[in-house]
Amino acid sequence: MVHALKEVWRVLKPGGILIDLRPISVDVPLLILTASGWKSAGLPDQSPDRVHDFAANRAIHRVVLDGFFIRLKQEYFVTKYYWNNLKELKSDVENCWKEDIIVSKEIWHHARLLYKSGSTQRRVQFPLRRKLVMYRRRDHKEAE
């Protein structure tokens, strides 16, 4: 990954901006939303993807220490994903996020109970935390 970041440095114009935008593997609640509010079905396990978080953090830290980039700003925000029902969510988890998220049988069961007990106006929400960091390409002349 460090090699790829050095290649990014090579192709960026002097002073160019590198944007590191990615989800953070922090456990967040699976929510059932109804007209009267929301209830949590539990915290799906996002630990399988943490190895990628740590690797990305180590790589960007290395190229910053080596003087290739200067960190300009860092922000965190939440992206909320919505589904009309649990079947749609389960399909996405099994087909798109199977390497990243583990939803236990207990959470699925609790979510089904909450979903069935809610009003007719209900949706499923899964908020994901994201990190946005901007880096400026540092020219080697700046280090001198």
Instruction: Write the pLDDT tens digit of every residue in 74-104.
Output: 999 999 999 999 999 999 999 988 888 899 9
Report whether pLDDT(142) > 80: no
What are the C-alpha distances in Å from 2 to residues 5, 32, 60, 141? Answer: 5, 40, 7, 21
What pLDDT digit, counting tens, does each position of 31-67 carry?
999 888 899 999 999 888 888 889 999 999 999 999 9
For the chain, what percent of residues have pLDDT higher than 70? 96
Confidence class for position 143, pLDDT limits 50, 70, 90 = low
pLDDT at residue number 118: 65
Cβ neighbors of 53 (< 8 A, separation 6 or more) are: 22, 24, 25
Tracing tokens 């960091």 back to the chain, one arrives at 133
pLDDT at residue number 99: 84
- On whether the pTM is more than 0.85, the answer is no
